[in-house]
Structures are given as C-alpha cells and as structure tokens.
Amino acid sequence: MLADKFGPARKIELTSINDSRGMLVVGEVETHVPFTINRFFIVAGVPAGVSRGIHAHKKCHQFLVCVRGSVIARIDNGKSSKEMLLSNPNFGLYMPPMTWGTQYSYSNDAVLLVFASHAYDQEDYIHDYDEFLNQLGAQF
C-alpha cells in the first residue's frame, strides 16, 4: 500500500538557516520529500478569487512549499478535509496520491513551489469529485 509506505498527508518541517546573509531553507529527498522528484511547478501571479488544483492524482505524490507570500491549501481524502495556511518556506505539505487538493487565497506576491513524483500524464488526473469518491470507494 503506497499510503502506508509514504505516510499520510502532513506538513513536514524543512531545515532553515538564517544569518546576516539572508535565509536559506534546505530540503532533501527522503529526509524531507518522501518520494523521488521527477517534476516541479512554480505557480505565481494568481489573481484574487482564483482557486487552482481542484483535482486528485491516481499515482502522483506532491509536495507543496509556499516560497513567498501565502496561500491556503485544502486537502481532502474523501473522508475528511483540512485547510492549511502555507505562509512559510520552512514547511512543505506532502500530499499522497488520491488526495483531492485545492489551493486558493493566494496573496498578491505568492509563489508556490510544487514537487511531483511523476512526469505529466493526463490519465493520472481526476478532475471530477464524484469520480474521485468512486475510485476511493474501490480502494476503501
């Protein structure tokens, strides 16, 4: 079971080193990011009122870091949902496969960095929430 190996959706603290030269945040694969990184996104310039995400992945793991500004991430595993304010690059949000994810309330200056475990595959996306629940039903 993937979910057992990688664990549940959770915030993971990164290593942070602040000194007179500025802020340095460091994350390592395995230590912080629980999967092999095969793709990354940078999301910025999202207008007020716009939500992004609004889908689940069948196989793809994701790891979200808000590197500037703030954004609210909502995660939903079909049984319960949770909203988290991401406003600090010191933390990453790990989202296992079959997590319905939505990001909204981007601040004007928000920059969201997302790591993904898989290359792009249209077939891996579930864009319909009822279909998401159906597929989870098959897993429960």
What tokens does 113 get?
């960095």
- Provide, rounded to whole angstroms, the least separation between the CB of residue 140 and its own copies: 32
- Candidates 3-11, 20-28, 79-87, 132-140; binding stretch for its own copies (CB under 8 A): 20-28
Should residue 137 be labelled a site residue for its own copies when binding is judged by CB under 8 A?
no
Contact 24, 12 (CB under 8 A): no
Nearer to its own copies by C-beta: 44 or 85?
44
Q: How far apart are CA 89 and CA 75, in angstroms?
A: 19
Distance of alpha carbon 67 from alpha carbon 59, whole angstroms: 25
Is residue 111 a contact point for its own copies (CB under 8 A)? Answer: yes
* Tokens coding 140: 């429960």
Residue 120 beta carbon to its own copies: minimum distance, rounded to whole angstroms: 7
By beta-carbon proximity to its own copies, the closer residue of 2 and 17 is: 17
Residue 23 Cβ vs its own copies, minimum distance, rounded to whole Å: 4
Q: Which of 95, 120, 110, 134 is nearest to 50 (CA)?
A: 110
Q: Using DSSP bridges, classify how beta strands 81-86 and 71-76 pair: parallel, antiparallel or unpaired.
A: antiparallel
Tell me if 40 contacts its own copies by CB under 8 A.
yes
Name which of 98, 97, 89 is nearest 71 in CA terms. Answer: 89
Contacts to its own copies by CB under 8 A: 18, 20-29, 31, 36-47, 50, 52, 65, 67-68, 89, 106, 109, 111, 113, 115, 119-120
